[in-house]
Amino acid sequence: MDVDWGELYRTALPDLVRFLHRKVWDMERARDLAQDTFVRALRENPDNPRAWLFTVAANLARDEARTAIRRKRHLTLLKTEVEVGAVTVDPAGALEQGEREAEVRRALEALGERDREALLLWDGGLDYGEIAGALEISAGSVGTTLARARERLVKAHREQEQGDVAHQ
């Protein structure tokens, strides 16, 4: 299959980075993982490149999480780094954005792996056929899977809000 890698890079990279960011919650690391994914794609030349990219990206993010867990277990010294000159233009806005991101993260983490993957792949811009390939389910069941995952995400978010109100 002859793939226009330049066009695929231009069209898929933003979605891939957003997908990875929601998995690793570090924008720079998400960009690095996206680049690694494209490097692997160039070596493999897959049949369905866009779906393949998201599948490999999900695997890289999972490996990244395992590595982070291992690092935390083996960490013996706490290092504190001071960012010099880091000035936030709008501290209140940054705080609010961080809180919203944390809420979404907690709600996503409350979901099962398949629900989380389905939502993140959809948010990453994959079509139903590509999501089906990545999740190894039939294309006909993708809509139902996404609908149920969305319901569970809303429920998880509501439960968090109720828990937050109860703790105040």
Domains and CATH numbers, the chain: 1-80 (no CATH), 88-168 (1.10.10.10)
Residue-level pLDDT at 33: 93
Residue-level pLDDT at 107: 85
- Over residues 56-77, mean pLDDT: 71
Cα 159 from Cα 165, distance rounded (Å):
10
Residue 27 has phi, psi (to 5 degrees) of -60, -45
Q: What is the pLDDT of residues 96-128, one digit of tens each?
A: 888 888 888 888 888 888 898 888 888 888 888
91 has a pLDDT exceeding 80: no
Q: Which of 33-37, 100-104, 128-132, 158-162 has the highest mean pLDDT?
A: 33-37
Residue-level pLDDT at 30: 92
DSSP the chain: ----HHHHHHHHHHHHHHHHHHHHS-HHHHHHHHHHHHHHHHHH--SSHHHHHHHHHHHHHHHHHHHHHHHHHH--S------TT---S-HHHHHHHHHHHHHHHHHHHHS-HHHHHHHHHHHTT--HHHHHHHHTS-GGGHHHHHHHHHHHHHHHHHHHHHHHHHT-
Residue-level pLDDT at 165: 64
- Over residues 28-32, mean pLDDT: 92
Q: pLDDT band at residue 83, thresholds of 50, 70 and 90?
A: very low
- Over residues 70-97, mean pLDDT: 57
- Over residues 65-80, mean pLDDT: 56
DSSP 106-138: HHHHHS-HHHHHHHHHHHTT--HHHHHHHHTS-
